[in-house]
């Protein structure tokens, strides 16, 4: 279970899924959005694991406030199921963005219509 809280796992999963999208399918329906969702989950998990709120040279109020806000937001990741939910939500958002901006924009008539 410790692997799911490892940010390198999420970034590796992102690279694997996006590479498989380029090599196998190319339809941008499942593998690419899931890879992007995995990367965003890894990024959000990485931001939760950043420092303790201070700097090495002394007290930094901005980092302290940011750390407290991240602690509140990162309480969401206490359960492993929430990592799966966040990956699913990030993947769905990525799917709709990809379909909106990279979808089929051609309005050419079908060659089979007479």
pLDDT digits over 88-98, tens only?
999 999 999 98
Per DSSP, the residues of 31-65 read: HHHHHHHHHHHHHHHHHHTS--SS-SSS--HHHHH
Within a domain: 26? yes
Within a domain: 87? yes
Task: Provide CB contacts within 8 A for 83, sequence distance 6+.
Answer: 4, 5, 41, 45, 77
pTM for the complete prediction? 0.72
Q: How far is Cα 35 from Cα 64, in angstroms, rounded to an integer? A: 32
Domain range enclosing 52: 2-102
Q: What is the pLDDT of residue 55?
A: 41
Side-chain-side CA neighbours of residue 66 (13 Å):
14
- The candidate with the shortest Cα–Cα distance to 39, out of 69, 59, 68, 19, is 19
Within a domain: 114? no
Within a domain: 108? no
Within a domain: 10? yes
pLDDT digits over 19-67, tens only?
999 888 777 788 899 999 999 999 888 887 764 343 444 444 444 445 5
The domain total for the chain is 1
């Amino acid at each position: 279970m410790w692997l799911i809280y490892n940010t390198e796992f999420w970034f590796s999963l992102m690279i694997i899924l996006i590479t498989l999208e380029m090599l196998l399918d190319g339809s941008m329906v499942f593998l690419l959005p899931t890879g992007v969702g995995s990367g965003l989950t890894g990024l959000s998990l990485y931001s939760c694991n950043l420092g303790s709120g201070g700097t090495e040279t002394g007290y930094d109020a901005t980092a302290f406030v940011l750390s407290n806000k991240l602690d509140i937001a990162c309480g969401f990741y206490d359960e492993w199921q929430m990592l799966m939910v966040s990956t699913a939500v990030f993947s769905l958002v990525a799917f709709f963005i990809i379909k909106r901006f990279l979808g089929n924009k051609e309005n050419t008539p079908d060659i089979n219509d007479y």
